[in-house]
Amino acid sequence: MFIEEVGLTQEKTTYIVTQYMLGQGWGLISPALLAVQIWDDLQKRNVVQMANAQMLKTIVWQQYAVILHDACCMPHDDEQYQLAWHEFSVWLTKQAHQVTSHLQEQEDVVQETLIELQSKLRQKGLRAPRTLWAYALQTQRRKQIDMHRKRSAKKRGEDKIISLEAMGTDDADSRWEEKLAVSVTGLTALENNGVNRRGMENEMADQEIEEQLQMFFQQHLPTPLQRQVAAAFFLDGLAPKEIAALLGKKPHEIRLLKARVVKRLRNLSSLQRQELLQILGTAREVDNDV
């Protein structure tokens, strides 16, 4: 896994912020000015030594989302308003390849998306402006799906809906997990991560429950990856981002893997589920006693 150098200087901060904003095509505020604001904030929070490029990018997109959102909500004759919508349109065009490879369809999707976003922002704006990017991308994806459905319906004379349920079959699950090929280093790190387990007053009883759960997962979960993720969630109490960091994966991949673990456990026979509930019930009783 790539390990990034941590600890920033003001020059490095300015460089990263500038490069990132240029790459995104964001210019409603001077990158140097935003970099100074971010640097001051990092210093105030005393986190300069912990900061890295990834963290800086996160701060920039969050802050710039608010800047762009507010500019897009300005009166129509304002220069910032015109600039903001032009910039937003260019950014959305750059992202359109993620929803379709067809050039004409990309243009149409961007236009439809912009119309919907303008209507939304004209009414009352977003409750949390920092979500502007994800909101815009979700709108773009929905527009593409709508357009695709309409075109398919026109072509075939009827709307054919692809069965998404098929993605939940065991075959699809194992193919999906194959894609998440486990990094051996990550697994070893996870296995050795017992130190991160939460301490409890009733340590002996808790240890027994953990052993029972571990054995249950060992018996009933089909892949090593599912067993590792189940242990990380239900024994170690790790969050998806922590597990993702250990395995060199993304948090959403871990969350989806957890969903497959839950699905697997829910689909066990009633007897097996009862056994698991009994172990979990004991855990709850112990917790209540503490």
Cα pseudo-dihedral 161, 165, 169, 174, rounded to 10: 80
Residue 171 tokens, joined: 């075959």
Pick from 8, 13, 14, 20: which binds other proteins (CB under 8 A)?
Answer: 20
Binding mask 202-241 for other proteins (x = CB under 8 A): -------------------------------xxxxxxxxx
Chain center to CA of 97: 19
Residue 290 tokens, joined: 């503490």
Measured from the CB atom, is 148 or 250 closer to other proteins?
Answer: 250
Pick from 95, 100, 111, 183: which binds other proteins (CB under 8 A)?
Answer: 95
* 87 is a site residue for other proteins (CB under 8 A): no
At 124, give phi and psi (nearest 5°).
-155, 5
Closest approach, Cβ 174 to other proteins, in A, equals 16
Pick from 12, 29, 61, 81: which binds other proteins (CB under 8 A)?
Answer: 61
Contact yes or no for 250/243 (Cβ under 8 A): no
Q: What share of residues in the chain are helix, strand, coil (percent, to 5)?
A: 75, 0, 25
Instruction: Tell me the C-alpha distance between 247 and 278, whole Å.
Output: 30
**Positions in the binding site for other proteins (CB under 8 A):** 20, 23-24, 54, 57-58, 61-62, 95, 98-99, 128, 130-131, 133-135, 137-138, 141, 164-165, 167-168, 196-198, 233-242, 250-252, 255-256, 258-259, 262-263, 265-267, 273, 276-277, 280-281, 283-284, 287
